[in-house]
Amino acid sequence: MSGPRSWRCLAALVALACMLCPTAAFAAPQAQLELWTISLQPLLTSYVQAMLGRYERIHPGLRVRWVDLQLEAFDQKLLAAIAGGVAPDVVNLNTEMTIRMAQAGALVDMDSAVPAAVRARYFPNIWASLRVDGRAYGIPWYVEPDVLAYSRTLFRRAGLDPAQPPATTDQYIQDAVTIKRRTGVYGFMPNVDTTRLLTLFQEEGLPVLSPDRRHAVFDSPAHVALLARYVDLFKRDMFPADTLRHGYLGATERYGAGQLAMLVTGPEFLLRVRADGPDVYRDTMVAPMPAGRGRVLDLPTMDVAVPLAGHHRREAVQLAQFVADDENQLGLCHIVVAFPSTRAAAADPYFTRAGTTPVDRSRAIAARELAMARDLTVVTPHSDELFRVFREAVEDAFFGRMPPQAALSWAAREWDKRL
């Protein structure tokens, strides 16, 4: 994304565009809708074309033009389209984009536009991820839950029972320490790099912002104790230094090379393990993501939203519902390793049959996690600057430049100046 400056301009652009595109402007016969997506080509080209072909057959007076853009260019092109009075009718966004656009008054309220019976098809916790001030501004599309992959061989070498994987974060840490001490191999690479510690706080039931979202609250004794625990583990060499630099990709590479015992990952990353380390893949067992005290798991979510500045609002809401309905979500998940946000699709045998391979087992486990997961993305004004401050504070704590309390207190003060 290009940063908060573009989003600060959005409210003014939307106001102008909405004057040019009044609410009552509905589609005339043979109207053309425009759907924008993020990085779906070429893998999903045939799928999207077939889906839109079905939509056009159901709605013979409508045509849909599909535009697929890379994430890096998406927000700038969207802002330019809104400013030019040619906004797309339906857009594929992630949670951060959705919340920013909703805060700028740029999106249709889906709680009002979508019938209650349709809203009820979605997991309520996932639908709620797209709410701003009590209203939802997107329809959840596909999601990417994490699971725990682990090495049967390294568990046994450490004297642990592979049939008893850690179910809580406390046990996860204990097992990681045991594995490192008894085998010399790192047990885990925890999600403490860059801003992922903000997610970890929430999974442990610790808020990041005050209820009015005007103050940072991540410098409480409980937050400090959590950071201090991981700093202590780092100083004792219980996870590698590249955890703080390479995160997800570094952990996947280590695990695929047999140099990591446990990997918290989306099921799609197991495909990389299968390609890079087939012996490790065959030795892999899969379990649910260890749960923190907050009893919630992070769930990166993609959605479809309707810009207020579009020309065919009623038909656009209809198209958005179609794209993210049970049938189309299930079809997409058969092509890529993604998961549906609707309850009926998640209950399909494709997800409920455990299968025999690690990817098959991860699919069944991840589908069961959907009911307790939601997108924990922290969205604030000036987020680029705030996240830079937080990243610096965390790195200062891990590398001994500041104690955890001082690091988090400094970051919270800096956040409060900007919130």
The identity of residue 253, as a single letter, is: E
Residue 301 pairs in a beta bridge with: 143
Domain boundaries, the chain: 4-141+300-349, 147-297+377-418
CA distances from 381 to 4, 6, 13, 131, 136 (A): 7, 11, 17, 16, 19
Q: Determine whether 5 is exposed, middle or buried from the number of CB atoms within 10 Å of its CB (0-12, 13-18, 19+).
A: exposed
CATH architecture of 4-141+300-349: 3-Layer(aba) Sandwich (3.40)
pTM score, two decimals? Answer: 0.84
Query: How confident is the model at residue 152, as a pLDDT?
Result: 98
Q: Please say whether the beta carbons of 47 and 331 come within 8 A.
A: yes
Radius of gyration of the chain (CA): 22
Q: Please say whether the beta carbons of 298 and 375 come within 8 A.
A: yes
> Any idea what DSSP says for residue 48?
H
Measured between alpha carbons, how far is 286 from 264 in angstroms, rounded to an integer? 10
**291 is written with which tokens?**
């749960």
Among positive and negative, which fits the CA dihedral 397, 401, 403, 405? negative
Query: How confident is the model at residue 293, as a pLDDT?
Result: 95
Q: Is the peptide bond before 42 cis (omega within 30 degrees of 0)?
A: yes
**225 is written with which tokens?**
């104790």
Helix axes 404-418, 221-235, angle to 10 degrees: 130
Q: Please say whether the beta carbons of 96 and 79 come within 8 A.
A: no
Residues in the chain: 419
Ramachandran region, residue 289 (left: φ > 0; alpha: ψ -120 to 50; beta: rest): beta
CA distances from 353 to 265, 337, 348, 364, 368 (A): 20, 15, 9, 6, 11
Query: How confident is the model at residue 9, as a pLDDT?
Result: 43
Measured between alpha carbons, how far is 118 from 152 in angstroms, rounded to an integer? 43
Instruction: Tell the residue number behind the tokens 């568990």, with chain if given.
Output: 155
Question: Which superfamily does 147-297+377-418 belong to?
Answer: Periplasmic binding protein-like II (3.40.190.10)
Q: What is the pLDDT along the chain (419 residues), one digit of tens a residue?
A: 444 444 444 444 444 444 444 443 444 446 899 999 999 999 999 999 999 999 999 999 999 999 999 988 898 999 899 989 999 999 999 998 999 899 889 999 999 999 999 999 999 999 999 998 899 999 999 998 999 999 999 999 999 999 999 999 999 999 999 999 999 999 999 999 878 899 999 999 999 999 988 999 999 999 999 999 999 999 999 999 999 887 767 898 999 999 999 999 888 888 889 988 999 999 999 999 999 999 999 999 999 999 999 999 999 999 999 999 999 999 999 998 889 999 999 999 999 887 888 988 998 999 999 999 999 989 888 888 999 999 999 999 999 999 999 999 999 999 999 99
> Any idea what DSSP says for residue 141?
E
**249 is written with which tokens?**
């990709």
Same fold, 4-141+300-349 and 147-297+377-418: yes
Measured between alpha carbons, how far is 407 from 404 in angstroms, rounded to an integer? 5
Query: How confident is the model at residue 245, as a pLDDT?
Result: 82
